[in-house]
Structure 1
Amino acid sequence: MARAVKSAIRVLEVLELFDRLQREASVGEIARELGYPLSSTSMLLANLLEMGYFRHGPDQRTYFPTPRVTVLGAWIEPLLTPGAEIMRMMADLGNETGETIILAAPTRDQVQYVHVVPATTTMRMHVGPGTMRPLLASGLGRVLLSAMPQEKINHLVMRHNNGPLATEDRISNSALQRELAAIRTKGYAVVLRGVTPGAGLIGMLLPLELSGVPLALGIGGWAKEIRLRQQEYLQLMREAIDRHLRRDLRSAA
């Protein structure tokens, strides 16, 4: 990673924190959640308040992002703005399943969780927007790989196998190709032993792209629950995609 500029990183981490909280928060809570010094957090929020990106809560002790934050990057990808069909789809799935709903996209040799709807169950997995997972060794990574050209997959496998972790974690390209072929045939992937111990996930490709890259939708939770409710979750995902996304594509045709 290039040399980090601390203040720039902190601004983005504060915005990501509010994306997870989706409510007002005090300086003390923000500092505690992010591990920042209280004085630095107070100064940072005062600057964002002065610039119009944050406002005070009713008690003048809490902070909340203003609509200026909402529209700042809306021009980049309208699909991800609040109220967009993809966001409604994820909210619906969250309400129907109670599980963590994940929208993921590839970035180099990683999978990034672009948007996450937190689970509402008592026992839940804790992941947030910006979470990164290995493209070659994660459930949603394999789903995204299934949409990529063979040459790119070969390149990723070769680079991984020639890297520092190759001796312990070498990937068989032929075995990977068989797995990707199965995902393409079935239209989904189920992982019951993922990157997070005890976690499981069901993932499938979405019928659209984000700035030219494929998107994957995932339902994540405890592996036992994913196993028991696999067919139910698959049906809910297919219905949600058809209701929210394929309808839009048909309308645009």
Structure 2
Amino acid sequence: MIVRQAANVLEILEYFARVKKPATLAEIADHFGWPRSSTFNLLTTLAEKGYLYEPRPRAGYYPTPRWLVLAREVAEVEPLPGWTHALIAALSTETGETVAIAAPAGVMAVFIDVVESAAAIRYFAKVGHRVPIHATSSGRALLLQYSKDERDSLYRKIEFKQYNHSTPISIEAVEAELRKSVERGYCQSFADYSRDLAGVAVPLPVGERRLSVVVAGPEYRIGDKTAAIAVTLQQFVERFRAV
């Protein structure tokens, strides 16, 4: 369930991140198709709370640095170790594919760091991208770090949708895939969630944090190289964790 008012605030911030310039009330309302009155109320509230300001008279609104200050303060409490970004950057260079670190977010896995492939045809993913925890290799590499009781509790909240023909649509199917992952030593997915997309992932626990690292790209490039990519993935994790 999405709370619309909260979503609207985040969509405004994402809008400014894309346009990178001030915007008037009319421009924002027209972009989202929102009523002028509710757009005015939302922008006024954000301005009064110190999150928006008017750089020039009648030039429109733009975010203040308060967003950045808060984000830094939040990130400093539990930052990722520096080696984790170096890891995914090196893996992306080595494999030529997009590499991400995922963390659990309820029934979803959320990407908390991403290095995109430089290839023209690639997996487009950004920090904050969310995927079903049961239907992706990155998510299943997180589930491997859950106890059986924790997984059973989570399964009761999952809507087992058929995203593609290979999507596991039952608890038994997910558990069977987890057992296969343990046997082969890594998690994999072939269009289980996103069409024509393949992924190879392994758990990446950091302290008490459950994380995973995934190499993802088009099936036609990754398909017959999953085992080799998994070896590279595991070798790089061992190397960078030891730094």
Per the TM superposition, whether the score is higher than 0.5 is yes
Structure 2 match to 1:25: 20
Structure 2 match to 1:230: 226
Structure 2 match to 1:72: 73
Q: Provide the rounded CA distance (Å) in 2 between the counterparts of 1:223 and 1:206.
A: 23
* Residues 128-143 of structure 1 mapped to structure 2, 5 A cutoff: 128-143=126-141
Q: Which structure shows the bigger proportion of residues in strand conformation?
A: 1
Unaligned runs of 5+ in 2: 56-61
Q: What's the offset of the Cα at 1:194?
A: 2.5
8 A contact 1:200–1:222 mirrored in 2: yes
Structure 2 match to 1:152: 150
Q: Provide the rounded CA distance (Å) in 2 between the counterparts of 1:144 and 1:195.
A: 16
For residues 216-237 of structure 1, give each alpha carbon's deviation from its aligned partner in whole angstroms, at most 9, with x where no partner exists. 1001100111123324422332
Q: Which amino acid aligns with 1:144?
A: L
Q: What's the offset of the Cα at 1:16?
A: 5.8
Structure 2 match to 1:60: none
* Residues 1-253 of structure 1 mapped to structure 2, 5 A cutoff: 1=1, 3-5=3-5, 9=7, 12-13=10-11, 25-27=20-22, 35-36=31-32, 68=69, 71-79=72-80, 84-160=82-158, 170-173=169-172, 175-209=173-207, 212-247=208-243
Q: Provide the rounded CA distance (Å) in 1 between the counterparts of 2:98 and 2:15.
A: 17
SS class of match (1:214): coil
> TM-score normalised to the size of structure 2?
0.70
Give the length in aligned residue pairs: 224
**Quick one: percent identity of the two aligned structures?**
21
Q: Provide the rounded CA distance (Å) in 1 between the counterparts of 2:237 and 2:169.
A: 35
8 A contact 1:135–1:145 mirrored in 2: yes
- Residues 239/183 of structure 1: CA separation in 2 closer, same or farther (3 Å cut): same
Q: Which amino acid aligns with 1:171?
A: S
SS class of match (1:73): helix
SS class of match (1:228): helix
Q: What's the offset of the Cα at 1:36?
A: 4.8
Q: What's the offset of the Cα at 1:86?
A: 0.8
SS class of match (1:239): helix
Q: Provide the rounded CA distance (Å) in 2 between the counterparts of 1:232 and 1:164.
A: 31
SS class of match (1:190): strand
RMSD of the TM alignment (CA)? 4.1
- Residues 157/10 of structure 1: CA separation in 2 closer, same or farther (3 Å cut): closer
SS class of match (1:133): strand
Q: Provide the rounded CA distance (Å) in 1 between the counterparts of 2:200 and 2:64.
A: 33
Structure 2 match to 1:251: none
Q: Provide the rounded CA distance (Å) in 2 between the counterparts of 1:142 and 1:171.
A: 14
- Residues 198/99 of structure 1: CA separation in 2 closer, same or farther (3 Å cut): same
SS class of match (1:129): coil
> TM-score normalised to the size of structure 1?
0.68
Q: Provide the rounded CA distance (Å) in 2 between the counterparts of 1:96 and 1:73.
A: 32
Q: Provide the rounded CA distance (Å) in 1 between the counterparts of 2:13 and 2:232.
A: 31
Q: What's the offset of the Cα at 1:242?
A: 1.6
Q: Provide the rounded CA distance (Å) in 2 between the counterparts of 1:149 and 1:235.
A: 26
- Residues 241/36 of structure 1: CA separation in 2 closer, same or farther (3 Å cut): same
8 A contact 1:192–1:226 mirrored in 2: no
Q: What's the offset of the Cα at 1:203?
A: 0.6
